[in-house]
Structure 1
Amino acid sequence: MIDMHIHVVPPNLPGTGPLHELLRKPVDEVAAALQAEMTAAGVTKCLAMGSWNTGDHDPLGIERTLEIAQRVPGLSAIGIADPTRTDTDHLRRVETQILTGRVAALKGYLGYLHYAPSHPGYVPYYELAARFRLPFIFHTGDTYSPFAKLKYAHPLGVDEVAVDFREVRFVIAHIGNPWVQDCAEVVYKNMNVWADLSGLLVGDTETLTNPDLAQSRQDVIDRIRLVMRYAERPNRFLYGTDWPLAPMPAYRDFMREAVLPEFHDQVFIENAQLLFFNPRRGG
């Protein structure tokens, strides 16, 4: 099983805090907790989001993630694209990090940063994504920050760049929740767009299993099935948890219920394997 959306470092975004107290712990402690969760859930590969604005020495915000990856087999890093930094020196440092071969994808934090996908500040990163065949992930939908602006986090913004940068593989994180049908339309229309199912429920195991919360879970299940039915592309959906915002075993079980059984192999393994780990990156 591949979990393509987790966190092992604080995102360092305006108004978010660390997301979870674990992410401030020493590297060895984070690595041990992640390894235990992966083993319990049967996860063999994970992709972890980096930190924004970590300084010139770490332009994609992945150094601490790579430290943890040395201790956790199967962990890969996702670099953060900063639309406020498009100067030549910064982009040269970004390219140097990509050339190490330790960057699995790039990510833009829509909403948290007040820039639409079509903003010129993202264009150099799309060009790098195309050149190195790296998928480009966008945070979309609800946010953890009162300083975020939701108009920038709407999944319809991804349609514009999917058309203009057709050689780039884009991923709409969190299926654009709550704008899930808009996400479905973007996936349906554009052959270079995927969507991930991470972070649709957050909390502890009790949140994901308590009978008193069954209706809330059913609401999410209904949204997932609507999106996948509308998009008509089960090969474009990816499994992720948003760990440690949700425990891996409980979220896995919840998603096994939400995703129809005939699509399990694609959603839990094959789609992410093709997109992130196949040499041709997305076919």
Structure 2
Amino acid sequence: MIDMHIHAVNPQLPGVRHIPDFLSGPLEPLVAILRQQMQESGTEAMLGMGHLGGTADDPLGIASTLRIAELLPVLHPIGVADPTRIDTEHLQRVERQLQSGKVKALKGYLGYLYYGPDSPAYVPYYELAARYKLPFIFHTGDNYSDLAKVKYAHPLLVDEVAVDHRGVNFVMAHFGNPWITDAAEVLYKNENVWADLSGLLVGDDAYFANMTERGVVRRVVERVKQGIEFTERPDKFLYGTDWPLAPMRTYRDFVRELIPENYHQAVFHDNAKALFKM
């Protein structure tokens, strides 16, 4: 099983709160927690989001993830594409980091930064993604910050760049939740658009138990299943947990309810392995 959406480092996004302290602490305790989560959930590999605000030596914000990966080699980094930094020197440094072959994808934090996917500032990153055959992930849907502007994170905006940049595979993180029907249309229409199923519910085990008892989980499952059915392409979905915002084992069980059983192997493993060349 491949979890293609976790946070092993603090993403350092404006206004984001309630990030566990262990993401900013010593590496050994963090790695121990990750190993336990992986063992309990049956996870064999993970993709970890980088952080915003990379340095000259680390323009994609992946150095901390790479240090963790030295202790946990099944963790692979996803670099952050920062639309506020598009000067030639920065982009050259980004390209040098991509040339290492360690980066599995690029990510744009829509809504947290006030740039839509169709902003010209993202185009140089799309060109790099196409050149190095890397998927480009967008945060879509609800933002985990009251400073974010959600209009920039609407999944319909992904259609703009999917049409204009056919050489790039785009991934809508969180399936555009709560705009799942809109996200489903974008995926259905565009062969180069995928979606991950991370972050549809956020909380600890007690939260999931409470939401299950209240019938909330059942209603979320019904809503997401309708979106997946609309796409007619359950083979274009990816498993992710958004850990540590949800426990890996509990979230795995939740996602199992969303996907037809005959597509579990594809969604939990094969799709990510192929898309991210793992």
TM over 0.5: yes
Q: 1:215 to 1:127 in 2, by over 3 A?
A: same
Who is 1:259 aligned against?
259
Q: Is the 8 A contact 2:212 2:218 kept in 1?
A: no
Who is 1:126 aligned against?
126
Are residues 1:143 and 2:124 paired? no
Residues in 2 aligned to 1:78 and 1:223: alpha-carbon distance in whole angstroms = 29
Residues in 1 aligned to 2:207 and 2:180: alpha-carbon distance in whole angstroms = 22
Q: CA deviation at 1:211?
A: 6.9
Moved more, 12-21 or 32-41: 12-21
Are residues 1:172 and 2:172 paired? yes
One-letter amino acid matched to 1:170: F
- Length-normalised TM-score, structure 1: 0.95
One-letter amino acid matched to 2:15: G
Q: CA deviation at 1:18?
A: 6.3
Determine helix, strand or coil for the equivalent of 1:40: helix
Determine helix, strand or coil for the equivalent of 1:77: strand
Deviations 1:136-179 (A, max 9, x none): 00001111111100100000010000000000000000000000
Residues in 2 aligned to 1:260 and 1:253: alpha-carbon distance in whole angstroms = 13
Who is 1:32 aligned against?
32
Moved more, 249-258 or 234-243: 249-258
Are residues 1:103 and 2:80 paired? no
Residues in 2 aligned to 1:250 and 1:214: alpha-carbon distance in whole angstroms = 17
Q: CA deviation at 1:114?
A: 0.1
Q: 1:59 to 1:249 in 2, by over 3 A?
A: same
* Count of matched residue positions in the alignment of Structure 1 and Structure 2: 278
Determine helix, strand or coil for the equivalent of 1:47: strand
Q: 1:260 to 1:90 in 2, by over 3 A?
A: same
Who is 2:227 aligned against?
227
Residues in 2 aligned to 1:60 and 1:233: alpha-carbon distance in whole angstroms = 31
Q: CA deviation at 1:263?
A: 1.5
Are residues 1:66 and 2:66 paired? yes
Residues in 2 aligned to 1:242 and 1:214: alpha-carbon distance in whole angstroms = 23
Who is 1:281 aligned against?
none
One-letter amino acid matched to 2:40: A
Q: Is the 8 A contact 2:51 2:62 kept in 1?
A: yes
Aligned 1:79-118 pairs, distance under 5 A: 79-118=79-118
Residues in 2 aligned to 1:109 and 1:65: alpha-carbon distance in whole angstroms = 17
Residues in 1 aligned to 2:208 and 2:182: alpha-carbon distance in whole angstroms = 26
Deviations 1:103-153 (A, max 9, x none): 000000000000000101100000000000000000011111111001000
- Length-normalised TM-score, structure 2: 0.97
Who is 1:20 aligned against?
20
Deviations 1:172-204 (A, max 9, x none): 000000000000000000000000000111111
Aligned 1:146-157 pairs, distance under 5 A: 146-157=146-157
Q: Provide the identity percentage.
A: 57
Determine helix, strand or coil for the equivalent of 1:258: coil
Task: Give ranges in structure 2 of 5+ residues lacking alignment.
Answer: none
Deviations 1:208-260 (A, max 9, x none): 23476341101210122111100011111000000000000111111112222
Q: Is the 8 A contact 1:207 1:213 kept in 2?
A: no
Determine helix, strand or coil for the equivalent of 1:104: coil
Q: Is the 8 A contact 2:156 2:183 kept in 1?
A: yes
Q: CA deviation at 1:54?
A: 2.5
Q: Is the 8 A contact 1:208 1:254 kept in 2?
A: no
Q: 1:214 to 1:17 in 2, by over 3 A?
A: closer
Residues in 2 aligned to 1:214 and 1:171: alpha-carbon distance in whole angstroms = 31
Determine helix, strand or coil for the equivalent of 1:163: helix
Q: Is the 8 A contact 1:18 1:24 kept in 2?
A: no
Who is 2:273 aligned against?
273
Q: 1:261 to 1:67 in 2, by over 3 A?
A: same
